[in-house]
Structure 1
């Protein structure tokens, strides 16, 4: 009886809560990652930083995978695996490659080349892209306010990219210069947006445990093999360092396991428009975390771009509130009409 009450109370947790917790974790993840690499720089092993960005991604995911297998061990059986269709397996592998290996690798490389705030703000390309793809591919209905909000947020991201003063790591493009770090962050955001749509469209019926474990395991393996080809085996020289593993165990549990699990929990039960809106608050959490953890003060370009993003978020929120109010009024009208029909016995022609 006690277990059933506990289960019932867990089900009553609004899915929005899961999304907000996940977004708070994701917002802080870039600052936490940069801080960890700074801690590693103070504890060199020979001439190497044991907490390099590649080691953070690889070992952090291994720690997360170990915890995920323990948590979801009951779901990881041959019967559940055989129930997945070929399309689900194809989608699962695609999402694992994109969201578990390629996008994190690009974003981590961006963190090595530009400021955390830039990576956070440029990453806001993802919500407008998710919204656009959901309308195009998932046929979700959005109103004019949401469209305008997404466009304004997109403009804010572009302002952050083009107004940010860059120095060495730049690619000349006509009259402007785009930093390589910002370009990598933008590419990572695009890939994450595509993976979100695939997950929403094709993986809603895949057990959460199987999704998390396969995504983490396959993403980690692909990233490791790619890094070996690009950088060589020496790149992971300090991968067995106890100092690295003690930090990565905490990182993997908090950022990967809790963050991803809560994100998927909310993603499954909410429309893409709501997911897009909530995820738009990531830059606020990211900039706040960068200031608290790293002391990184926003630049003028980040203030301008961030302000535009906030305006876009506000406009999108207005649109969602209008949509919710319209749905409620329509439901009330239908219920009233149904009540009249029940009383009079009238069923129409």
Structure 2
């Protein structure tokens, strides 16, 4: 499949993540743990059948990088899920998807990728649209501001996870890479829960449904598709595309929770899409195709 189509499906899948978290009554660490743990359980039979032998081929350096990526992913989920307790879905998802602010410079310093004028312009447009989406939700102080700070830190952590993944996916297969990182993340979250004294059980039976949906939809459809795409595209491309997540999440939040969208959020959504299109479309190739046909 075309990598950009895969990324689009992935973005739609992760857009549902904030909704499932908001519906759950469990603690943030518990939600994050079961999201990763159930993902590992679902993938394990496939891994044991087809990919177990690949573990012998992984270098020690890649084990270290995979461990760091798993730890970053674990704390990304903890902080982001916690932010949803304090601020709106729109504000939280906007801030957590501002990865280009970090990724565009991370890929420049670590992978020597050039920063083009088009990518900078696309980033500015998309980020501007993202802020406009949640203009009515941002607050100067109080609990909403605290939630915004948590979401911003979570954004930095997931960008680090993506950058390590971009390097690792060039040498490690998708299933093997994912099972390693998700296992490390689940173990990290289990240790976190033990230290914090959070419960591995829940009094609300519906939470188990939200845990399972988080594992299947955002993880196995969302993040797995991003991991697959990292072999073919830059982390910058995925980070820009993920800016579409607040659009989908805001619509879902309106349908499920009645979080009303104001006019600035509709306009912001359109601006985000324009920024994404500007970044991913090769206009020179498009112009050549137009000349050839017309």
Give the TM interval when normalised to the shorter protein. 0.7 to 0.9
1:162–1:98 Cα change, 3 Å? farther
Corresponding residue to 2:62 among 88, 112, 122: 88
1:144, 1:319 within 8 Å by CA — same for their partners in 2?
no
2:226 is the alignment partner of 1:226: no
Corresponding residue to 2:147 among 170, 181, 187: 181
Partner of 1:282: 245
2:142 is the alignment partner of 1:168: yes
1:150, 1:313 within 8 Å by CA — same for their partners in 2?
no
2:292 is the alignment partner of 1:318: no
Shift of 1:72: 2.0
1:39-76 Cα distance to aligned partner (Å, 9 max, x none): xxxxxxxxxxxx34332222232221110102222244
2:7 is the alignment partner of 1:32: no
Partner of 1:16: 4
1:283-316 Cα distance to aligned partner (Å, 9 max, x none): 111111111222111368xx36x74575365245
Q: Using structure 1 for the length normalisation, give the TM-score.
A: 0.73
1:213–1:324 Cα change, 3 Å? farther
1:256–1:92 Cα change, 3 Å? same
1:145, 1:315 within 8 Å by CA — same for their partners in 2?
no
Instruction: Work out the CA distance in 2 between the residues paired with 1:113 and 1:163.
Output: 11
Instruction: Work out the CA distance in 1 between the residues paired with 2:258 and 2:206.
Output: 25
Corresponding residue to 1:260 among 217, 220, 223: 223
Instruction: Work out the CA distance in 2 between the residues paired with 1:284 and 1:192.
Output: 19
Partner of 1:102: 75
Corresponding residue to 2:101 among 128, 137, 149: 128
Shift of 1:266: 1.9
1:325-349 Cα distance to aligned partner (Å, 9 max, x none): 28969xx9xxxxxxxxxxxxxxxxx
2:7, 2:225 within 8 Å by CA — same for their partners in 1?
yes
Partner of 1:192: 158
**What is the RMSD computed on CA atoms of the aligned residues?**
3.0
- Kindly tell me the number of residue pairs found equivalent between the two proteins: 289
Long gaps (5+) in structure 1: 1-12, 38-50, 171-178, 333-349
Shift of 1:107: 0.3
Partner of 1:345: none
Instruction: Work out the CA distance in 2 between the residues paired with 1:184 and 1:98.
Output: 14
Equivalent position SS for 1:165: coil
1:125-178 Cα distance to aligned partner (Å, 9 max, x none): 1133222322332222343122022134445556758972356327xxxxxxxx
2:40, 2:183 within 8 Å by CA — same for their partners in 1?
yes
1:328–1:75 Cα change, 3 Å? farther
Shift of 1:212: 1.4
Long gaps (5+) in structure 2: none
1:19, 1:275 within 8 Å by CA — same for their partners in 2?
yes
2:34 is the alignment partner of 1:74: no
1:241–1:297 Cα change, 3 Å? closer
2:237, 2:279 within 8 Å by CA — same for their partners in 1?
no
Instruction: Work out the CA distance in 2 between the residues paired with 1:287 and 1:162.
Output: 13
Larger-gyration structure (1/2): 1
Instruction: Work out the CA distance in 1 between the residues paired with 2:280 and 2:41.
Output: 39
1:76-118 Cα distance to aligned partner (Å, 9 max, x none): 42x421211122111111111101x110001011011111111
